[in-house]
Amino acid sequence: MSFFYLLEAFQTIFSDLSSLLFILMGVTAGIMVGCLPGLTATMGCALLIPFTFSLPPVQGLLMLMGIFTGGIYGGSISAILIRTPGTPAAAATLLDGHPLSMRGEAGKAIGIGTIASFVGGTIGALIMAFMAPQIAKFGLLFGPPEFFALAIFGLSMIISISGESLLKGAIAALIGLLITTIGFDPLSGVPRFTFNNENLLGGITFIPALIGMFGFAQVFRNIERMELVPQVKSKVGRLLPPFKEVRSLLPTMAKSGSMGAVTGSVPGLGCDIAAFIAYGEAKRTSKTPEKFGQGSLEGIAAPEAANNGATGGAMIPMLTLGVPGDAVTAVLLGALTIHGFQPGPLLFRDHLDVVYPIFAGMILCQLVLLIVGLSGARLFAKLINIDTRILTPVIFLLCIVGSYSMRFSFFDVGLALTIGVIAYFMGKAKFPVSPVLLALILGPMAEQNMRRSLMYSQDDLSIFVTRPISAAFLILAVIMVYSGYRRFKKIKEIEARMQTESQHQEG
Amino acid sequence: MKSNRIDLLTGIGLCLISLAVFIYAFEFSGRGVNSYGPNFFPQAIACLLFLASAGLIYQALKGHTTASIESINKAGFIKASVTLALAIIYVFAMNFVGFFIATIAFLYAVMFYLGQRKQIVLTITALSVASVIYGIFSVFLKIPLPEGIL
């Protein structure tokens, strides 16, 4: 059944060559954004959403997904060449990528990385195309109490994206939740926290908030960093790896790709964690584990296949339930909403004409990635050498124009700049920004569904625990927070032990 | 540098904000369909925020703060602030001289300030980037950019 729809979607995309062009543009732009350190896939999507406004929804989405795929892949190029991951997802790739590059085999490393990204990404996209409709079918059983519980479950994921301090992550999420209450209350029409400013009646709009948090704040950080870190230059060398080597790596790629897709589909885990998990697993099962960290080809194939596999996985909860898996999918969710589609189980019932082209597009993105990646790697590597004194002002300009273009409003530009300054200081005080973004999306979902449920149950709070699915999500949320906290404690303990040990050695 | 002092101040600030939100939110009540009206959610969040910030204050006072904060590089910070100021001037100037001219001037100024001194590079980049952005947004996407009063 879904296979038939998928074929039809391919036909739709191929019938209009401009769709392919948008995928090509998206992937290329994504790789460019990804391989430049300081520009993440999240930022790329945020900056390029305004470019998709006037496109037909499907084409706009195809382009954004291209940026997502390309961005996650592009990060590996700079990880291999200059030991700086262009995106957090490529952090595991530099462990083996950079040693190879030191030996003058950077080209081979990038080549393997590209093929692994293609294999992993395709597996991830296929898993998405066949799993998502099933999950959406299950989601059709959900009523307001279930969606409330799901939103709480999604918010409990914050524990895994909080970075160094759980408390600060929680505070960031709570601030995000408070921000979502600005503007008209959708259920009663009462304006809240608008301070009689008509620009705030509709609430804090998504795009300026996004560009502020991930665009402006990053630009400020990059400008500050110019004082500290000199730019590193890059070299590539021979590109295509011999076929025999690729063939021996195929099992690793396939396994890591599917692991990545599964990891990515758990909200909150995302592409970077998927890459590290796959790297660890590949090392554990490898015949030559001692080579890991010294420039092992498996050590590149595994994380690269996994992080691109995770892109497909992360799309599953976002599309089927409206719960984004990580920051980039949160941005994509925002983009879907802007184009007039509300992600969730109903999307699969009412808009199959959008859903299946998304699946087909995701698969095509991988193919385009392979072609563009292999033919253009040299060019992209040169991008890393672009003068940051030229690049930064251009990105700054794009942030300003991007925040203006949503509502043609200078208020939004000011808002984005303000949020950018706040986010910059939050980063300095180690308050993570991603929880705010997650809260912006899940906040309205939690509030409205909670109040709808309580209207339905006539103020009886037990409605959330007596319905099985809702109770299950709430229990999962508690388990998630608890296990996240335990894991966090453990990491802290290990860190503390390592510190005392090194002090002993010095003493 | 440990972040105790900053965490303490942030915690106190957030406590005050959550109190203010809690009290201010009483204004929204009365018109809800059920007893959980428009004030309920903000007030519930404000309570949680109060608790969390109290936790932050407690940690800071006991010296338990786990994360050390990033120190601010002074020269870099000044650079970022000046660039921000240039951006604010740019946004206001756009309304007077129009998008195109303001953008060229902005790009030129920021690149120059950040240390790019080659006139040819400055001129070509400013002109071409401004034209491309103007072309994409105004012509291709049909987003009305400010034309200015000139």
Using CA atoms, how far apart are residues B22 and B37, in angstroms rounded to an integer? Answer: 14
Contact (CB, 8 A) for A429 and B7: yes
Reading phi first (left if > 0) and then psi (alpha if -120 to 50, else beta), residue A104 is in left
- Structural domain range at position A406: 2-495
Residue tagged 């970022």 (tokens): B80
Contact (CB, 8 A) for A96 and A252: no
- Asked whether residue B32 carries a pLDDT value surpassing 60, the answer given is no
- Asked whether residue B69 carries a pLDDT value surpassing 70, the answer given is no
- Rounded to the nearest angstrom, the minimum Cα separation between A210 and chain B is 18
Q: Please count the structural domains in chain A.
A: 1
Residue A299 Cα distances to A358, A463, B108, angstroms: 31, 49, 44
Q: Is B134 on the interface with A (CB under 8 A)?
A: no
Mean pLDDT calculated for residue range B108-116: 91
Residue A319 lies in a domain: yes
Residue A34 lies in a domain: yes
Beta carbons within 10 angstroms of residue B70's beta carbon: 14
- Asked whether residue B31 carries a pLDDT value surpassing 60, the answer given is no
Mean pLDDT calculated for residue range B120-124: 91
Contact assignment for B83 to A401 by CB distance below 8 Å: no
pLDDT of amino acid B2: 55
Contact assignment for A53 to B116 by CB distance below 8 Å: no
Task: Enter the DSSP assignment of A458.
Answer: T
Structure tokens at B118: 């080659």
Q: Which amino acid is at A162?
A: S
pLDDT of amino acid A244: 84
Q: Give the orientation angle of helix A166-180 with respect to helix B40-62, to 10 degrees.
A: 160
pLDDT of amino acid A320: 92
Q: What SS3 class is residue B3?
A: coil
For residue A239, report the phi and psi dihedrals to the nearest 5 degrees. Answer: -100, -60
Residue A77 Cα distances to A68, A210, A304, A326, A343, angstroms: 15, 26, 11, 22, 32
At A268-316, the pLDDT tens digits run 677 888 888 888 888 888 888 888 888 888 999 999 999 999 999 999 9
Mean pLDDT calculated for residue range B87-96: 92
What DSSP line would sit under A195-259, residue for residue? TT-GGGTT-S-HHHHHIIIIIIHHHHHHHHHHTT-PPPP------PPPHHHHHHHHHHHHHHHHH
Residue A507 lies in a domain: no
Q: What SS3 class is residue A191?
A: strand
pLDDT of amino acid A231: 62
Q: Is B13 on the interface with A (CB under 8 A)?
A: no
Using CA atoms, how far apart are residues A418 and A220, in angstroms rounded to an integer? Answer: 12
Which of B14, B140, B145 minimises the CB distance to A171?
A: B14
Q: Is A15 on the interface with B (CB under 8 A)?
A: no
Residue A393 lies in a domain: yes
Task: Enter the DSSP assignment of B71.
Answer: P
Beta carbons within 10 angstroms of residue B34's beta carbon: 15
- Asked whether residue B3 carries a pLDDT value surpassing 70, the answer given is no
Chain A residue closest to B38 (CA)?
Answer: A185
pLDDT of amino acid A235: 66
Q: Is B41 on the interface with A (CB under 8 A)?
A: yes
Contact (CB, 8 A) for A77 and A34: yes
Using CA atoms, how far apart are residues B38 and A241, in angstroms rounded to an integer? Answer: 61
Using CA atoms, how far apart are residues A223 and A211, in angstroms rounded to an integer? Answer: 17
Give the H/E segment covering residue B59.
helix B40-62
Contact (CB, 8 A) for B69 and A356: no
Contact assignment for B91 to A414 by CB distance below 8 Å: yes
Structure tokens at B14: 């957030």
pLDDT of amino acid A475: 92
Contact (CB, 8 A) for A395 and A215: yes
pLDDT of amino acid B1: 46
Q: Give the orientation angle of helix A434-456 with respect to helix A327-338, to 10 degrees.
A: 60
Residue A54 lies in a domain: yes
Which of A223-237, B55-69, B83-97 is predicted least confidently? A223-237
Q: Which amino acid is at A211?
A: I
pLDDT of amino acid A423: 92
Residue tagged 């697993």 (tokens): A281
CB < 8 Å to A223, chain B:
76, 79-80, 83, 114
The residues of chain A scoring below 70 in pLDDT are: 1, 159-163, 228-239, 268, 501-507
Residue A315 lies in a domain: yes
Contact assignment for B14 to A170 by CB distance below 8 Å: no
Residue A198 lies in a domain: yes
pLDDT of amino acid A24: 94
Find all residues with CB under 8 Å of B37, minimum gap 6, and list them.
Answer: A188, A190, B28, B29, B30, B31
For residue B68, report the phi and psi dihedrals to the nearest 5 degrees. Answer: -90, 145
Residues linked to residue A390 through DSSP beta bridges, in sequence order? none
Using CA atoms, how far apart are residues A444 and A450, in angstroms rounded to an integer? Answer: 10
Top residue of A25, A188, A411 to mutate, by most chain B CBs within 10 Å, is A188
Q: Which of A484, A150, A163 is nearest to A327 (CA)?
A: A163
Contact assignment for A451 to B76 by CB distance below 8 Å: no
Residue A179 lies in a domain: yes
Percentage of chain A surpassing pLDDT 70? 94
pLDDT of amino acid A160: 65
Contact assignment for A405 to B141 by CB distance below 8 Å: yes
Residue tagged 């204050």 (tokens): B57
Using CA atoms, how far apart are residues A440 and A422, in angstroms rounded to an integer? Answer: 16
Contact (CB, 8 A) for A432 and A145: no
Which of A164, A429, A450 minimises the CB distance to B10?
A: A429
